[in-house]
Chains A and B, each alone.
Chain A
Amino acid sequence: MTQPILQADNLTKTYISGATPLTVLHNVSFAVRQGDTVAIIGPSGSGKTTLLGLCAGLDVPTSGTITLMGLKLNSMTEDDRAYIRNQYLGFVFQNFQLLQTLTALENVMVPLELRGEKNVASRAIELLKRVGLADRLHHYPSQLSGGEQQRVAMARAFITNPKMLFADEPTGNLDDENARHLTELLFKLNQEEGTTLVLVTHNLELAQKTNRILRMRGGELIEDSSAVSIVQS
């Protein structure tokens, strides 16, 4: 039996909106094993993005614990969590989140440069070739289409060989054809790199490509089952 790569225990998150506390997650617990591909689905406002953010160490829960690769994220400083993200995690976002002032190549190089690694351009170029952007290396995000931008984002996510990849609606801003192409690319790279994948999506077609689905509603985890059974139901 393997120790979970990610363990969430009784996660609760409350935001203060004005003077009113708003609880967006209630006692959510689950574990993810290495190599899993997990989709978090649910209607808008169900807490799935908040859950993803907490699991990736982008925020800390109000109560409960998150253990990532044996490390408790709650007790870490923000800069320590940033270090963990840089070393072990990758991200793909719905709105691509590329740095507008950097070229495609520079965007992909950033995570490795942050580690202080040298001669990172060759690895970045290779990844950009793998995502089909060999001729777009020196283009700025504003000169790329949405699909191309998301491929750059994917190359940036995989360049550090992350243990886990977090994706927030990775195809949400793309047309059908681009979405299909991106999905194939995401799972292909994920398989090749042996990455654990956690993604948030509304798209059941995308969700069913994972081997496990967590269904959220009203801030609670209401179902945790295999993708096949959820799609069938």
Chain B
Amino acid sequence: MIEYTIRLKRISKTILADGWVWRMAWRDARHNGLRLALFMASLVVGIMALVALDSLNNSLQNDIDRNAKELLGADILVNANRPFEAELKSLFDSIPHPQADEADMASMVLFLHSGSSRLIRLVALRGAFPFYGKIETQPADAYEKMKDGGCALLDETLASQYEVSSGDTIKIGNSKFPVAGVVTKIPGGGGILSTLTPSVYIAWAELDSTRLVQYGSRVNYRKYIKTASDEQAVELAGKLKPLARKYGHGFDDVEERKRELGEAFQSVYRFFSLLAFIALILGCIGIASSVHLYAREKRAEVAVLRCIGSSGWQAFNIFFIQIFFLGILGSFIGSLLGIGIQQLLPFLFGNLVPVEITLSVSWLSVMKGMLLGTVMGTLFSMLPLLSIRFVPPLTVLRADFEEVKVFSKAKVAAIAGVVLFPVAFAVWQTGEAVTGLLFVAGLVVALGMLALVALLLLRSVRKFFPTRASFIWRHALANLFRPNNQSRVLMVTIGLGAFLVATLNIIEKSLLSQVEFSGRENQSNTILFDIQPWQKEGVIALMKENNLAVNQVVPIVTCRLAEVKGEPIDVLQRDTTDRVPNWALTREYRVTYRDSLHHSEELIQGELQRKSSGKDSVWVTISEGMHENLEVTVGDSLVFDVQGVPVKARISGIRKVDWPKDPPNFIFVFPAGVLEEAPQVYVTSTRIADQQQANQFQQRLVNEYPNISLIDLRLILSTVNELFDKLGAVIRFMALFSIITGLVVLAGSVINSKFIRIKENVLLRTLGARTRQINRITLIEYGYVGLFSALTGMILSLGGGYLLTTFFFKITFAFSWPELVTTIAGVVFLTILIGWWNSREVIATPPLQILRKEV
């Protein structure tokens, strides 16, 4: 009798020790090059964006580190919005180090050569500022000329905007200055600041001659100090900082400036890198979707391998190795392209930052990108790939054999990885656990919503299928429901890009509509401020002469808080448990007095301000929001220091203020009969219909009342527009990465479904379809994909935009149909182009060739 003595000696080899899986991975990859390359391409775009930003951020941080002293222009800076107190002045006087002074204030400038005028920031300089770096001018000696006195310098943007040349004359306040040249670079200046508030520079000694500094003028003073060494700077900071804080002044030293700037750009970088991360996640979703199809197609081969003895893990490892190395390769290519893109970013970011960006390559960023891409790509592929482990060998005999759903530990680990890794990355990137979690939660909600909208759209199309449309339109639409067409994944990935662009557009429109005054009847669009009491009647007369309505004439009294709820300000400042911000305690408040509500105000709690509270105090109202900052409510006591006179007050009510509506609006409003005798200035507002009328009025105003400044809200509108143009360009650029990723996923999908398409086309051609008809079907199909993707994004962006504007920005929801339609058209066009480009082979192949290949 034969006895079989077989023992199981199966040895499980690790992936590294199992040479066979590596050989099989290579053999299989030779035949799937294009498809595998497409998995990689989905990854490339996201990594490219991340590496470009990360490398740029590193360069920028290095530049800030290297140029920190030049950014400040000195070792120490103290800045105040009123003249320095005697205590501080005597400390400055006792310091043996070189010092420089700067004063700046808002003022009107009149360009005599053209007669036009504009609100500018007037900067008066004294001393050897800057101590580090230099003010670059054109001509080169213009700064020295200006310091000698008698002439002015203009920011380059202002000079080019008003076509001012050297030698032209400008009028500021009561003085006229010939223009010595333009400032092209100034320490700490430039960047976006010069767009918002263009500056005119004069010598400190000239400031008095302008007679602009009067009661009520808001002048900022800066003291720049240069020390001989960093140690001296630290020692001096120890003395100056507490004193500056005591009076509520700003204090900056090189380290602080470095940290502030570094943090500011780090925040911007984090925001943009999260946008890039979205592109990477989209790419990974694309990979997961493609790998899912790939794994499904590989079932037959895996079944054969299982049949001839491969273990489940061995079969899995073959494809895992492919995906893993593609992840590395894709990340490497993405990183290299990222370095290329980085060279373009300064053109986008350049005008937003105050330092010159050095184009250096950060290899750390490249390494980070490669690691991130490999991990993310592999993680997202794991889930669909793990199904390979459970392909039953019986499938070789019965193709319809249904596999049992297995929920393995590896699957649980892969799901955990897919969820946790993006969270970990977002937390690391934002530096805050809550923000990181919120970002991922938001992204998951957005993707979930997009998937839901896509599903509903597709269901509606199915339900209301246009059965009467021509064959070509019907067939193209039916193709969306073809197996393996990935229609929903495409709608989510391309839709997310469209969503980002459209949401940005909605927020931009909504914010702009807040400052959009031109369409509102009788709404003030011009504000005149710093009107001295003796000028009030004259200014009103001038407005009337120019047929301008005097919408409101409001007195303004400046004061500070001396006590809050019975506690002196200095006690509150020292109290570490007190959460009231220092700025709210020490700032200068510009208050008004009246007995009624302005039409931009609504009383939401308590009563209106009134003269007597019966307790030696007056009742004042406070604006909503500020009561939270100061942690006060109705009935709480305050003491105001009105030009040295203490005024006791109690809060009678809280006003909700629509700040942009018919300015000026106020934080504190006093009752009439209290502040009338205090030193005060007036503000008035009017509506000027057109630019010509504005020019005429401004010219007369600047000539007759040179100290009065005028804010043209239309100019603010155009400035805000310009700001949005600059920021929007960057955000759109980042959103573009998401759209490109979506299109790469689309290209992958087209290639994935290539064989089904070829079979279908062969059938159509055999039945007599012409190339033109097949072309049209293809174009229309991708038109549908693009349209539905864009619609998915649009629907969500309208919903998301409404929620964001209403509940986060608390502004009126607004959007522009033409711009949304343009976005949709752009997405549709790109989708058709990519879809058609990748289908050319499918369309052009003759049927016989396909039949011979036994497709």
Contact = CB atoms under 8 A, between A and B. Distances in A.
B767 interface: no
A116 B309 contact: no
B6 A70 contact: yes
Given A49-B397, A100-B31, A82 B310 contact: yes
A83 interface: yes
Interface stretch (B110-118, B298-306, B501-509): B298-306
Interface stretch (A51-59, A126-134, A186-194, A217-225): A51-59
Interface stretch (A36-44, A85-93, A173-181, A202-210): A85-93
B571 interface: no
A137 interface: no
A1 B3 CA distance: 11
Interface stretch (B22-30, B146-154, B184-192, B601-609): B22-30
Contact of B396 (A5, A86, A93): A93
Contact of B309 (A52, A69, A85, A100): A85
Contacts, number: 114
A231 interface: no
A195 to B, nearest CB: 15
B30 A97 contact: no
A86 B392 CA distance: 15
A3 interface: yes
Interface residues of B, number: 41
Most buried by B among A76, A101, A116: A101
Interface string A98-114: 11111000100011011
A140 B31 CA distance: 10
A116 B307 contact: no
Nearest to A81: B393
Given A58-B397, A59-B392, A116-B20, A83 B311 contact: yes
Contacts of B27: 101-102, 106
Give the interface residue-count category, chain A: 35 or more
B176 to A, nearest CB: 84
Contacts of A142: 853-854
A184 interface: no
Given A59-B392, A100-B301, A101-B32, A83 B309 contact: yes
Given A58-B397, A59-B392, A116-B20, A71 B309 contact: no
Interface of A: 1-3, 5, 34, 49, 52-53, 58-59, 69-71, 76, 78-80, 82-88, 91, 93, 97-102, 106, 110-111, 113-116, 140, 142, 156, 168
Given A1-B1, A5-B4, A58-B397, 9 more contacts: A70-B4, A83-B10, A85-B307, A86-B310, A93-B397, A97-B396, A102-B28, A110-B308, A113-B20
A101 B25 CA distance: 10
A82 B393 contact: yes
B8 interface: yes
B615 interface: no
30 contacts: A3-B3, A49-B397, A49-B398, A52-B397, A58-B307, A58-B392, A59-B392, A69-B4, A69-B6, A71-B4, A78-B392, A84-B6, A85-B307, A85-B393, A87-B309, A88-B6, A93-B396, A99-B28, A99-B301, A99-B304, A101-B28, A101-B30, A101-B32, A101-B301, A102-B28, A111-B308, A113-B20, A114-B309, A116-B19, A142-B853
B308 A79 contact: no
A79 B312 contact: yes
Contacts of B470: none
